[in-house]
Amino acid sequence: MILHDFYIGASFDAYTFFGAHPAEKGFLFRVYAPAAEKVALFGDFNGWMEEEMQLLGTSGVWELTVLQAAEGQLYKYVIYSKEGWKCEHCDPYGFSMELRPNSASRLVSLEGYSFSDEGWMKRRQNTFDRPVNIYEVHLGSWHTAPDRENGWYNYEELADRLIPYVKECGYTHIEIMPLSEHPSDNSWGYQNTGFFSPTSRYGTPHQLMKLVDRCHQAGIGVLMDFVPVHFALDYYGLARFDGSYLYEFPHDDVGLSEWGSKNFNHSRGEVASFLQSAAAYWLGVYHFDGLRVDAVSRLIYWQGDEKRGVNDRAVKFLQNMNAGLKKLFPSCMLVAEDSTSYPKITAPVQYDGLGFDYKWDLGWMNDTLDYFRTPPKERPDKYHKLTFSMHYFYQEHFLLPFSHDETVHGKATILQKMWGDYDQKFPQARAMYLYMMTHPGKKLNFMGNEIGQLREWDEKREQDWDLLRYPLHDGFYHYIRRLNQLYLTHPSLSAGEYDARSFLWLEVKGEKNCVYAYLRGPMVNTPTASKANKKENLWQQPADRTVSVFNFSDRAAAGYRINLPVPMELRPLICSDSDIYGGGFCGELPALRPQYDPIKGNWFVQTDLPPFSGILYSAHPLHKPTPVHCPAGIRSKR
Give the end of a domain, one of 106, 138, 168: 106
Asked whether residue 587 is domain-assigned, the answer is: yes
* Contact status, residue 483 vs residue 437, Cβ threshold 8 Å: yes
User: What CATH number does the domain containing 556 carry?
Assistant: 2.60.40.1180
Which domain does 558 fall in, by range?
500-621
* Contact status, residue 172 vs residue 443, Cβ threshold 8 Å: no
pLDDT for residue 527: 52
* Contact status, residue 255 vs residue 263, Cβ threshold 8 Å: yes
Asked whether residue 245 is domain-assigned, the answer is: no
50 catalytically annotated:
no
Asked whether residue 601 is domain-assigned, the answer is: yes
Asked whether residue 225 is domain-assigned, the answer is: no
Asked whether residue 492 is domain-assigned, the answer is: no
Single out the catalytic residue among 175, 234, 248, 337.
Answer: 337
Residue 388: strand pairing partners: none
d(CA 110, CA 546) in angstroms, rounded, equals: 48
Beta strand residue intervals within 107-261, DSSP E: 133-137, 173-176, 180-181, 194-198, 221-226, 230-231
How many structural domains is the chain composed of? 2
Nearest CA to 268 among 253, 256, 285, 255?
A: 255
Radius of gyration of the CA atoms of the chain, in A: 27
Asked whether residue 535 is domain-assigned, the answer is: yes
Residues of the chain with pLDDT under 70: 524-538, 540, 624-638
Give the end of a domain, one of 59, 85, 106: 106
pLDDT for residue 254: 86
User: What CATH number does the domain containing 34 carry?
Assistant: 2.60.40.10
What CA–CA distances, in Å, run from 461 to 72, 165, 436, 455? 30, 19, 28, 11
Asked whether residue 400 is domain-assigned, the answer is: no
Single out the catalytic residue among 294, 338, 367, 497.
Answer: 294
pLDDT for residue 257: 86
Angle at 82 between CA 79 and CA 86, to 5 degrees: 35
d(CA 108, CA 104) in angstroms, rounded, equals: 13
Asked whether residue 98 is domain-assigned, the answer is: yes
Give the end of a domain, one of 55, 71, 106: 106
pLDDT for residue 634: 44
Amino acid at position 336, single letter:
A
pLDDT for residue 625: 62
270 catalytically annotated:
no
**Cis preceding-peptide flag for 228 (omega within 30 of 0):** no
Amino acid at position 312, single letter:
D
